[in-house]
């Protein structure tokens, strides 16, 4: 399909209301059922970030959770993940820049690394010795980039993360159009997400993965990901140094599509194993 025809189809889809309904769902507000408090922190470039703290304060490990594009910290599947992890860890879940109650503009994974860095620092300030970052899709880009650039965490878990910018799937072409056009940015703005109108063309995740080691890296990808194929995770894995692990999960879609109670329980155990291995290596 040619570029003009594809853009015409996207406009047609918007006209039928499909994309608008998708944005309206993203606007819905949900509150955490478990005990929690709101926090605010500032990224190093001055962007104000809104977050929620929940979970245990009597443990040494905090988990920082970064959502995907068009997400927010209390979106149902993000809330499910955060509340599940809160049984064993302190959890810091927040709105990435341009999303939810946070300020700034979404840059597609570039400046979002500063957001992760700020929330990691917030967890440290509250007494957590170990911090593990967990990001999905856009959040996965952010946690990989943050670990590679700032090296300030004990573990990184990237879920459904693209290896390079762009892609050939229809959902990725749609997101690219949203970022690249005035109409697309305006449309996303109706859903409460503010997009930057300039692209800095930063290094893609596959180019940064080799700079994370010796921080442990766990890559999780779904066999049924309709945005990015499993080969994307395999490319990042091949570029990363040890210690690293790759899980390709059957029946798992893209990012939060795969967030279930069973997956959350498994993720909690993976975090525990990651930290135990880190302790074992330190004692050798």
Q: What integer is the mean pLDDT of 37-49?
A: 97
Going from the N-terminus, what domains does the chain have, and what CATH number goes with each?
A: 32-167+201-283 (3.40.50.1820)
Percent of the chain with pLDDT over 90: 76
Mean model confidence pLDDT for the chain? 90
Higher pLDDT, 18 or 239: 239
pLDDT tops 90 at residue 61: yes
- Residue pLDDT, tens place only, 200-237: 889 999 999 999 999 999 999 999 999 999 999 999 99
* Burial annotation 241-269 (CB, 10 A radius, 16+ → b, else e): eebbbbbbbeebbbbbbbbeeebbeebbe
pLDDT tops 80 at residue 197: yes
| pLDDT for residue 23 | 47
Positive or negative, the CA dihedral 244, 69, 182, 198 is: negative
| pLDDT for residue 28 | 43
Nearest CA to 93 out of 259, 247, 281 is that of 259
Q: What integer is the mean pLDDT of 26-32?
A: 56
| pLDDT for residue 284 | 64
- Residue pLDDT, tens place only, 245-266: 999 999 999 999 999 999 999 9
Nearest CA to 202 out of 81, 83, 106, 111 is that of 111
pLDDT tops 50 at residue 99: yes
Q: How confident is the model at residue 107 (pLDDT cuts 50, 70, 90)?
A: very high
- Residue pLDDT, tens place only, 126-155: 999 999 999 999 999 999 999 999 999 999
Q: How confident is the model at residue 50 (pLDDT cuts 50, 70, 90)?
A: very high
Q: How confident is the model at residue 31 (pLDDT cuts 50, 70, 90)?
A: confident
Looking up tokens 């879609």, which residue turns up?
A: 253
User: Of all helices (H) and strands (E), which one includes residue 180?
Assistant: helix 170-180
Contact 64, 82 (CB under 8 A): no
Measured between alpha carbons, how far is 161 from 222 in angstroms, rounded to an integer?
10
pLDDT tops 60 at residue 72: yes
Q: What integer is the mean pLDDT of 72-84?
A: 95
pLDDT tops 70 at residue 1: no
Higher pLDDT, 121 or 175: 121
């Amino acid at each position: 399909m040619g570029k003009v025809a594809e853009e015409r189809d996207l406009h047609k889809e918007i006209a039928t209301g499909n994309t608008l309904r998708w944005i309206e769902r993203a606007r819905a507000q949900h509150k955490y059922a478990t005990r929690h408090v709101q926090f605010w922190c500032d990224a190093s470039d001055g962007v104000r970030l809104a977050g929620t703290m929940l979970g245990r304060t009597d443990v040494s490990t905090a988990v920082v959770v970064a959502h995907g594009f068009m997400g927010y910290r209390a979106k149902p599947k993000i809330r499910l993940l955060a509340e599940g992890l809160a049984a064993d860890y302190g959890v810091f879940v927040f709105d990435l820049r341009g999303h939810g109650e946070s300020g700034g503009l979404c840059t597609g994974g570039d400046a979002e690394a500063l957001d992760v860095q700020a929330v990691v620092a917030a967890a440290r300030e509250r007494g957590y010795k170990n911090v593990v970052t967990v990001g999905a899709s856009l959040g996965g880009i952010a946690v990989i980039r943050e670990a590679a650039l700032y090296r300030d965490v004990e573990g990184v878990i990237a879920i459904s993360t693209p290896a390079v910018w762009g892609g050939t799937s229809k959902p990725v072409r749609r997101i690219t159009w949203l970022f690249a056009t005035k109409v697309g940015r305006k449309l996303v703005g109706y859903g409460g997400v503010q997009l930057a109108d300039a692209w800095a063309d930063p290094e893609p995740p596959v180019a940064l993965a080799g700079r994370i080691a010796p921080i442990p890296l766990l890559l999780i990808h779904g066999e049924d990901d309709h945005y990015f194929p499993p080969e994307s995770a395999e490319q990042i894995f091949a570029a990363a140094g040890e210690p690293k692990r790759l899980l390709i999960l059957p029946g798992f879609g893209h990012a939060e599509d795969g967030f279930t109670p069973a997956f959350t329980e498994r993720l909690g155990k993976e975090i525990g194993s990651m930290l135990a291995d880190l302790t074992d290596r330190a004692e050798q």
